[in-house]
Amino acid sequence: MSQLVHHRAQWKTHIGFLLAAIGSAIGLGNIWRFPYLCYKNGGGAFLIPYFIALFIVGIPLMILEVGLGHKMRGSAPASFATINKHGEWLGWWQIIFVMFGIVLYYSVVISWCLNFFFFSFNLSWGVDPNNFFFKDFLVVSSSPLNIGDVRTQILFSLTIVWFLNWFIEFVGVQKGLERANKFFMPLLFILVGILVFWSLGFPGSKQGLSVYLKPDFSRLKDPRVWIDAFSQIFFTLSLGFGIMIAYASYLPKKSQIVKDSIVISFTNCFFSVFAGLGVFSVLGYMAKATSQPLEKVVSQSLGLAFVAFPKAISLLPAFSHLFGVLFFGSLVIAGLSSSISIIEAFTSGIVDKFHYPRRVVVSVLCVAGFSGSIIFTTQAGLLWLDIADHFLTQYGLVIGAILECLLVGWFYRTQRLREHINNISSLKVNRGWDFSVRLLIPLVLIIILINSLIKEFSSPYGGYSVLSLILIGRDWLIFTLFLALIVAGRTWKIEPHTRLQH
């Protein structure tokens, strides 16, 4: 048995692994993105494509990532390199563009949540939260290329966020990651449970819920609805991030791969539907309190969390401060447990390949991550975030996942991985899974990709200048790809395939 296998960290408990994986999956996206998508895409009818996407793409891919990490006992680069030495770059690319892309702005959004957590104590957003958020808090500049100043308030909370990221990761897999999630996840469930039951009692909540869940089946004819469902499943389950592979590599030999994958996926998706009940009860209340139709008060993503919610919180007759504190506190917790997961995925990649000490890697990484995040705390931060998010999630994640399926499906043979999974799991996967990984998932993702590309070329995303889209969006992907190729070209301290020989 190689030294590396001996020293590989392991989860202390099974529930510790489950909670960490669920913590990664449940993030900001569950609370602000899912309810809005549901509303926009036919209400309750959206649950049909959403759960279909969960069954045909989400769960099979989750099983693939958990099974692969478990079998190869390595991070994404190590696992892909064991399959084929030409596949290693893909693993690096995934963890590089998430670590030096998605998480840079994701941590800034967590910082905004932290600022708003404190604002809740005296409802600092006043009577016009829209103006407060965009003009007073972010002071958004006129274009992405006009960067302006760093917002010190945001920089301050960003420092706290990266300090927490660093601290949890520094302490290690068992003592940091596992313990943090064992504390965070139950707390998150309690907080969100309180918020949902509280808001169900608001006047007007029924109307809100009926708009959220009333099925409009005619919307299912629109391909966009299906594309939204499939892309959301990906992002929400943290698939294609290299995270689940790394987390599964710390599992003990005897593990329930299939059952765990199903539990993680379902818990995440039910959490989304559940949180949506609260979000729409609040919007229903706000519509009633301001005598407006619900369509007027609903808004998406950032607008939902930082404009609509503050507005609703101010309107609450009692304990409004407390409601705000609980809401923004929940967002901070949900966000942190996701951001630490990618730091772990990246760290395990570097440690697997170069054998640098974990604590040094984590420290350097967090300082680099913090520095990289600073650009998103400037006045152009919101615009940069919008562009980077669009390109990294719509293209990076999707292309990465297509290649991942093809690599495992055609260069490794899904059958071999399936045998490994079935040997140790009580719940088995059948040949339908092979079909899904080799053909169905890549096909669905390619359709999504083509659709996004068509839209991309028909009009510049978000009305930004083409130059800024190229520099901030496309080039970010190309640059991270370039880095991935360089890292993949370096030699291994211990060749990845020898790690598995006993």
CB of 485 to ligand TRP, least distance (A): 22
Question: What's the token pair of residue 341?
Answer: 């997961």
Nearer residue to ligand TRP within complex by CB, 260 or 434? 260
Residue 67 and residue 412: Cα distance in Å, rounded? 13
Nearer residue to ligand TRP within complex by CB, 50 or 492? 50
CB of 36 to ligand TRP, least distance (A): 13
Residue 274 and residue 268: Cα distance in Å, rounded? 10
Residue 28 and residue 34: Cα distance in Å, rounded? 10
CB of 11 to ligand TRP, least distance (A): 18
Residue 143 and residue 375: Cα distance in Å, rounded? 14
Could you give phi then psi for residue 150, rounded to 5 degrees? Answer: -75, 140
CB of 103 to ligand TRP, least distance (A): 4
Could you give phi then psi for residue 202, rounded to 5 degrees? Answer: -70, 145
Euclidean distance between the first and the last CA atom of the chain, given in angstroms as a whole number: 4
Nearer residue to ligand TRP within complex by CB, 230 or 235? 235
Residue 401 and residue 248: Cα distance in Å, rounded? 17
Q: Which residue is nearest to ligand TRP (CB)?
A: 27
CB of 30 to ligand TRP, least distance (A): 5
349 neighbors 91 (Cβ within 8 angstroms): yes
Residue 347 and residue 169: Cα distance in Å, rounded? 9
Nearer residue to ligand TRP within complex by CB, 83 or 397? 397
CB of 420 to ligand TRP, least distance (A): 26
483 neighbors 96 (Cβ within 8 angstroms): yes
CB of 228 to ligand TRP, least distance (A): 14
- Angle, to 10 degrees, between the axis of helix 59-72 and the axis of helix 257-289? 140
Q: State the residues that interact with ligand TRP by CB under 6 A.
A: 24-25, 27-30, 98, 102-103, 106, 235-236, 238, 241, 243, 338-339, 341-342
Give the chain's largest Cα–Cα span: 70
Query: Which of 220, 215, 173 is CA-nearest to residue 75?
Result: 173
- The 8-class DSSP code of residue 493 comes to S
Nearer residue to ligand TRP within complex by CB, 103 or 264? 103
Residue whose pair of structure tokens reads 């006043």 in the numeric block: 126
Nearer residue to ligand TRP within complex by CB, 335 or 496? 335
Residues comprising the chain, all counted: 502
Q: Is 150 helix (H, G, I), strand (E, B) or coil?
A: strand
377 neighbors 111 (Cβ within 8 angstroms): yes
CB of 399 to ligand TRP, least distance (A): 17
The b-or-e profile of 345-384 (16+ CB within 10 A means b, else e) is: bbbbbbbbbeeeebeebbeebbeebbebbebbbbbbbbbb
Nearer residue to ligand TRP within complex by CB, 108 or 407? 108
Residue 244 and residue 342: Cα distance in Å, rounded? 9
Residue 307 and residue 112: Cα distance in Å, rounded? 12
- The 8-class DSSP code of residue 395 comes to I
Nearer residue to ligand TRP within complex by CB, 243 or 444? 243
CB of 329 to ligand TRP, least distance (A): 16
- The 8-class DSSP code of residue 221 comes to G
Residue 94 and residue 222: Cα distance in Å, rounded? 30
CA torsion sign for 110, 111, 112, 117 is: positive
Nearer residue to ligand TRP within complex by CB, 236 or 347? 236
Nearer residue to ligand TRP within complex by CB, 25 or 191? 25
Nearer residue to ligand TRP within complex by CB, 39 or 106? 106
CB of 198 to ligand TRP, least distance (A): 23
Nearer residue to ligand TRP within complex by CB, 83 or 233? 233
CB of 468 to ligand TRP, least distance (A): 22
Contacts of 206 (CB under 8 A, 6+ apart): 284
Nearer residue to ligand TRP within complex by CB, 68 or 102? 102
CB of 217 to ligand TRP, least distance (A): 27
CB of 156 to ligand TRP, least distance (A): 21
